[in-house]
Amino acid sequence: MLVIRSLAGSDALLENLSQSDDTRLMFKALNDTTPTRDVGHAGTAMRFLTACFAVRGGPVVLTGSDRLRQRPVGPLVDALRSLGAGIEYPGKEGFPPVRITRKLTRGGEVTVRGDVSSQFISALMMIGPVLEGGLRIRLRGEVVSDTYLRMTLRLMNRCGIEANFAGDLIRIPEQPYRVEPMRVESDWSAASYWYMVAAMLPGSEITLPGLTTDSLQGDSVIMKLFEPLGVKTRPGEEGITLVSEDTRLPERFEQDFTGCPDLVQTCACTLCALGVRFRFTGTRTLRIKETDRIAALQKELSRLGFVLKAGAEGTWIAWEGDRCEPEASPVIGTYHDHRMAMSFAPLAVRFPGMAVRNPMEVTKSYPAFWDHMRQAGFRAEEG
C-alpha cells in the first residue's frame, strides 16, 4: 500500500501500518531525497522499489545488507530493461545494488518466469497502471506463490484499478490509481506463531486483533492447517480468537506450501514438537529467502533431536520420525532470519532452557514479538 500510494501521488492515511523494519525502511526509501537508499535486509522493499523508482525516475541507487546483495533481482531488472528502463548493476550482475538512471514511461508486454519470487511479478503489476499503454505480464512455466499475486491484484482493485489475471497472462490497462484512507490488515504470517503456541498448549485461548477470516493474505490458510492440530479460529468484532483443544493428532501431515512458503518454518517446528511426521512440497523458494531456510531448519532442529530430510533442489522437506541426540542446552541460530527466531521460540514449551541467538532479528517483521510473548506468560530473558 505504501508503494501504491506513492505511485498514485497520494497522501491518503494508511492506518495500522506495521512498525517492522521492512515497513520503516520502505517508508524511508520512498520519502528520502538522498541519491542512495539503503533497505537493509528488506528483500520486498528492494524488489518493489526497483520497479517503483524505474517509473519515478533516477538517478538513485538501491542497496542493502550483505545478505540482501546475495538475493537475486535479475529477472525483474531484465523485464524492466526490456520495457526501456535504464538500470545498471554497480556490483555483481543480477544482484543488488542497482542504479536506476533512465525513467520508464511506456508499457507493453513482458515475459517472466512464474517460478521466480512472486515479488518480481507483484512489483511489475503495481507499476502497470501508470505506464503509457498499460502492461501485459506473461508468466512462463509453473506459477509459484500465486496467492501473493492475487493479493496484489485485489489491493490494486481496491484502489480503482481494473485488471485481469487469467491463465498465464496478467492484463493491466493504463488508468489512474484512486487511493482512499485505509486500515491495513494485520499480518497473518506473524499470527502463525500464535497458532503454534496454541497447538502446544491445549486449553489456551489467544485473541489476535486486526485479523479477519476473509483476509486477502494467502497465509490466512494457517486457520485450516492447524484445525487437525486442535486449534479452532473464532471470528470476532475486533479480530480473531484461537481456541485450542485436546485432540487426537494425525499420524502424518502432508501439504503443498507453494502458495504460503512463509508458513513452512512454523509448521515444521510445530509438527516436530507434537511428534507428527510430515512431508512438505512447494518449498523450492525457501532456498533464496533471508537465508537458505531449508538448510537452517535441518541444522537447528537437529539441535533438538530431529532429523529432517530434503530434496537437493529444495522441492520437498520431510520428517519421518528420525531422531538424533539433542543438545543439552541448545542455542538456536537465526541466520539473520526473523522467521527462524519466531518459529523456534515457542518450542521452549517443550525444551525448557532453549536459547535463541540474535533475538532482535524479529524487528524485520514483528518488533513486538518478545513483548507479546511475555504478555502471554512466557519468560524471555536476554543473556
Question: Which positions are catalytic?
Answer: 262
Is residue 117 a contact partner of residue 288, using CB atoms and an 8 Å limit?
Answer: yes
Cell of 92: 555483481
Backbone angles phi, psi at 66, to 5 degrees: -60, -45
Cβ burial of 12 (10 Å; 0-12, 13-18, 19+) is middle
With a CB cutoff of 8 Å and minimum separation 6, the contacts of 49 are: 3, 26, 29, 30, 37, 39, 62
Give the Cα separation of 268 and 272 in Å (integer): 6
Helix and strand counts by DSSP (H, E) for the chain? 12, 19
Q: How far apart are CA 140 and CA 283, in angstroms?
A: 19
Cα separation, 314 vs 332, whole angstroms: 22
